[in-house]
Structure 1
Amino acid sequence: MANTHRRPHAIMIPYPYQGHINPFVYLAMKLASQGFTITFLNTQFVHFRISKAQTQNNREDIFTKARESGLDIRYATVSDGFPMEFDRSVNHDQFAEGLLHVFSAHVDELVGNLVKSDPPVTCIIADTFYVWTSAIATKYNLVSVSFWTEPALVLSLYYHLELLKKNGHFPSNDNRKDTIDYIPGVKAIEPSDLMSYLQAADISTVVHRVIYRAFEDVKKADIIICNTVQELESETLSALHVKQPTYAIGPIVSAGFSKRTVSTSLWSESDCTQWLNTKPSGSVLYVSFGSHARTASRKDIMEIAHGISLSGVNFVWVIRPDIVSSDETEILPDGFEKSMRGRGLIVQWCSQIKVISHPAIGGFLSHCGWNSVLESIWCSVPLICFPLFTDQFTNRKLVVNDWKIGINLSDKALITREEVAEKIKRLMSGKSSEELRNAVKEVSSRLENALATDGSSHRNFNLFIEDLKAKLQNRYGPGDESTNHIWAP
């Protein structure tokens, strides 16, 4: 391809879940502010959900205001292969099959058109969980960047699946139960802290096929970027970097990574500010189990509700109607909401960063999704950890064991209301609460320092840009003098 007046043009493809979309959006803003042309790709279903939640004109998109401020962020939608009415949560496995086999054909067609655009697309930045990124990058001669939206520890464990297999820790019904101490850059981890898919008895699922293929495909990427911080996972990141260029550029949270706000929520948000303004500083527990549907049992939710009641603390609780893994419609104890009036606020969804950054919030009872962990640290809010699936068990290990900024809700199979109440009290008051607060403030300062002008994430972001620049120049030849400024750190 000829290249004389070429701007770098990246197509960015998040996995179609809230926790993946958010960091992709903030990264798109930052890359565009560095002179990139961005084509941001959402599925038509995700676009519909965001538009509906914002009650905005469906012809607009999330980057309309960003373009008005001069950023070249283009927006595209393609079908994920399913009708709009198809329930992607209830039919999760069928949906995952579609992302494997159908969505990629729509992406391929779009990229084929974008290589003829002005400027032509030169780079693909895709979620690591996509299994077809390298094939599309090769077909259209694009630089391939794999964007990992979870901690480096989780990436490294998936990356070294062959070592886990070789040593008998995965995949069988009689896996070894002893400490895993042979993963490069990972000191030691217990099997109970592995991601849920690596602890599962049934390893024949579509998700396991995605994992096997995605973590072979990532090894073909030109560059890996991670939503984490060098100082928090330095050994793990260094070991990955030996294998292929890997840059920690996090925390990619709206409050720190992008000064501009973009509405990305898939649900309509309640504003909790007025209610929180009536509560004393540090007195409110925030409770949320994330954006993925049907991941908790009704019994656990009931015990947590009773535990919150027994604890006596003020609380904001995000309860989506589809949170439990059954068809139950009544998921809270009879009369709970009425009896907690004044003490508690129950909403279906809210702006999490807006709530946990409020001075009234003193703790976060969380499923330990990675975005939630990063946002909680950013706002210096300690955690109670209630992991439900996927990376959340491994994230809990970092929060509780490594950084000591949270406590585990329960080590037992069954949660009890008494244990819930006791853990909430430990989090919200007394000596243990003070220790947790001091620890999370220290980790929070590391996150802030990483994004500062001389911080590790700022430097790594610039190194990523320089590495990408070099690979683009090797592939397409140097750009002209008039566009060199766009590569300046």
Structure 2
Amino acid sequence: MSAMEPHVMVVTLPTQGHLAPLTSLAHFLAASGIPVVLVRSARAHVLLQAASNEAALSVFSAPPFASFPDLVNSTSKATIHIEIVADGLPTDPKQRLERGTILGSFDTIEKGVEELLEKRMVEKQLPKCLILDSFFSNLGQRVAVKFRLPWMAFWAGSASVFSLSYHIPKLLAKGYLPAKEEGAMDREIDFIPGLSPIAVKDLPKGFNVELDPENNPALPLIRNLFENVKQADRILVNSFFELERAVVQSLREAGLHLDMVGPLFMMHSLSSVSNHVTAAASLLPEDTSCLTWLDKQQETSVLYVSFGSIAPMEEHTLVDLAHALEASNVNFLWVIRPDCMSGKASLQQLLPEAFMEGMQDRGCVVPWAPQLAVLGHRSIGAFLTHCGWNSVLESLSHGVPILGFPQDAEQNTNLRFVVKDWKVGLPLFSEKQQKEPCNRRSMCSQAECSIAEIMRGDVGTEARKHALEWRKAAVEACISGSSLLNLQRIANELITGHLA
């Protein structure tokens, strides 16, 4: 990259769910003719290289978006320059990372990015704009002042969860938080513009709704994040307008400059970017042998089971799920990550006795799967997921119904929208079983029934119909509609240097 060449710097988190969409965004911009500096944390860079056999290059080219002939500068191509900053995180994929450990790495990453900008300022290579994950909003405000740079905040979740987080002060003022009294968790929140009524119990688990504000570290973190995000020149959301129309319009009316730019994985896959570059967004090696296994299965006959890249899964949960899958008589593709092995040397040691041998005719278990290829496969009938936003969005965009088993963060809230608003799935466990302690045999029985319902029941049939409708809307948003138009406008503004 030559001195003074105008470019954009994109800064990602060290986790799969945030890294992948921002990487797709970086490739879109580069394919539009805008040089990009993509900043990765050290852990992410090591895992990406190991997972994809990516050459140890610091610069590579992104081809133009041949699929989109009307895209600005569609005949040009630009480079993506990789920069690496320290994060203080371990690089062993078998080592489970707690959320607190990941959050603790943010200060180290921000310091590295700020030092990188200082170095580039001396070299007269400051970017024309920064695109930062929203969790780096403190950094966004600092560099906006220090380096006089415009910046955009990237929100990796839904606009609906964005709105719930944005309205925490109102939830506190109206006495919905903390929710400690009897019946407080069942109170309905019906005053957030653009959102259908939602119970307090369906607010993100990360809010820690039962804690007093003075003892709840999550609340000041979220409030600070949104105070900074409001100052960004743009807020880019990895969702599409048609899915969350009312809430997006309400947030815009409140003065927030929201641009819906997703599903970004679809923007990436519709471009002429090579498979090598696409694979480089996975932090774990993808076992593509499962695709050959899927080729042998009947249409919509397979339940895909995966709980993302971080969600912790206890050994007893995996064992119970194995019993439910065995009893359901449903074919399945099951991802069990290396860090979920609980110190066991093999799956035979982890799962129930003789499970692997007994299920080999109708089951396939892999450490990590090429999820987009799996969800797009004709044999997939439903997706049993933790309901992380990327997984929900990818499932919707492929027309695949969802069976939800949320674990952490905002996953329970995503499931609520999946079931009640978008009508594309159902929970693995009933509300009663989630509230009351049940014995493991009862839980296994409920899971078995839910699996049968989503795969073969009337609810599953209806959910599949709605999912296919959302798939059509997502494809239109990316090929010729709202998300593509937003990205084209942003690319034009970056090229001209005028963020309207």
Task: Verify same fold: TM over 0.5.
Answer: yes
Distance 1:373 1:267 in 2: 20
Q: Deviations over 1:154-207 (max 9, x none)?
A: 111111211111122224544564111122322321112211112454575665
Q: Deviations over 1:304-360 (max 9, x none)?
A: 211111110111000113238x76775422221111111100000011011111111
Within the alignment, does 1:240 sit opposite 2:258 as a pair?
A: no
Q: Is the 8 A contact 2:93 2:338 kept in 1?
A: no
Q: Displacement, 1:31?
A: 0.9
**1:306–1:231: structure 2 CA closer, same or farther, 3 Å change rule?**
same
Q: Displacement, 1:214?
A: 1.6
Within the alignment, does 1:401 sit opposite 2:408 as a pair?
A: no
Partner of residue 205, structure 2? 196
Partner of residue 214, structure 1? 225
Q: Displacement, 1:84?
A: 4.9
Note the 1:2-21 alignment, pairs <5 A.
8-21=6-19
Partner of residue 184, structure 1? 193
Q: Over the residues paired in the alignment, what is the CA RMSD in angstroms? A: 2.7
Partner of residue 64, structure 1? 60
Within the alignment, does 1:226 sit opposite 2:237 as a pair?
A: yes
Distance 1:34 1:91 in 2: 37
Q: Is the 8 A contact 1:26 1:258 kept in 2?
A: no
Within the alignment, does 1:365 sit opposite 2:384 as a pair?
A: yes
Q: Is the 8 A contact 1:171 1:198 kept in 2?
A: no
Q: Is the 8 A contact 2:166 2:223 kept in 1?
A: no
Q: Is the 8 A contact 1:251 1:257 kept in 2?
A: no
Partner of residue 354, structure 1? 373
Partner of residue 303, structure 2? 285
**1:150–1:92: structure 2 CA closer, same or farther, 3 Å change rule?**
closer
Q: Tell me the SS of whatever aligns to 2:334.
A: strand
Note the 1:416-427 alignment, pairs <5 A.
416-427=443-454
Q: Displacement, 1:366?
A: 0.8
Distance 1:64 1:96 in 2: 30
**1:183–1:141: structure 2 CA closer, same or farther, 3 Å change rule?**
same
- Name stretches of at least 5 consecutive residues in structure 2 with no aligned partner: 65-75
Q: Displacement, 1:8?
A: 4.3
Which of residues 477, 481, 492 is equivalent to 1:450?
477
Q: Is the 8 A contact 2:185 2:201 kept in 1?
A: no
Structure 2 counterpart of 1:93, one-letter code:
G
Q: Displacement, 1:428?
A: 1.3
Partner of residue 122, structure 1? 128
Moved more, 176-185 or 132-141: 176-185
Q: Deviations over 1:45-80 (max 9, x none)?
A: 1111111122344x225x635379942211100111
Note the 1:299-448 alignment, pairs <5 A.
299-323=316-340, 330-410=349-429, 411=431, 412-413=433-434, 414=438, 416-448=443-475
Distance 2:216 2:101 in 1: 11
**1:85–1:452: structure 2 CA closer, same or farther, 3 Å change rule?**
closer
Note the 1:21-170 alignment, pairs <5 A.
21-57=19-55, 59-60=56-57, 64=60, 66=62, 70-82=77-89, 84=91, 89-90=96-97, 92-99=99-106, 101-117=107-123, 120-130=126-136, 131-170=138-177
Distance 2:105 2:95 in 1: 10
Partner of residue 459, structure 1? 485
- Name stretches of at least 5 consecutive residues in structure 1 with no aligned partner: 476-489
Distance 2:272 2:420 in 1: 32
**Normalising by structure 2, what TM-score?**
0.86
Q: Percent identity?
A: 32
Q: Displacement, 1:229?
A: 0.9
Q: Tell me the SS of whatever aligns to 1:247.
A: strand
Q: Is the 8 A contact 1:33 1:71 kept in 2?
A: yes
Structure 1 counterpart of 2:323, one-letter code:
H
Structure 1 counterpart of 2:195, one-letter code:
V
Q: Is the 8 A contact 2:308 2:388 kept in 1?
A: yes
Distance 2:166 2:344 in 1: 38
Q: Tell me the SS of whatever aligns to 2:188.
A: coil
Distance 1:86 1:362 in 2: 30
Distance 1:266 1:106 in 2: 21
Distance 1:201 1:257 in 2: 44
Q: Displacement, 1:449?
A: 1.1
Q: Tell me the SS of whatever aligns to 2:230.
A: helix
Distance 2:185 2:464 in 1: 36
What is the aligned residue count? 464
Moved more, 341-350 or 246-255: 246-255
Distance 1:428 1:404 in 2: 15
**Normalising by structure 1, what TM-score?**
0.87
Distance 2:7 2:407 in 1: 38
Q: Tell me the SS of whatever aligns to 1:96.
A: helix
**1:89–1:115: structure 2 CA closer, same or farther, 3 Å change rule?**
farther
**1:198–1:257: structure 2 CA closer, same or farther, 3 Å change rule?**
farther
**1:441–1:74: structure 2 CA closer, same or farther, 3 Å change rule?**
same
Distance 1:144 1:247 in 2: 14
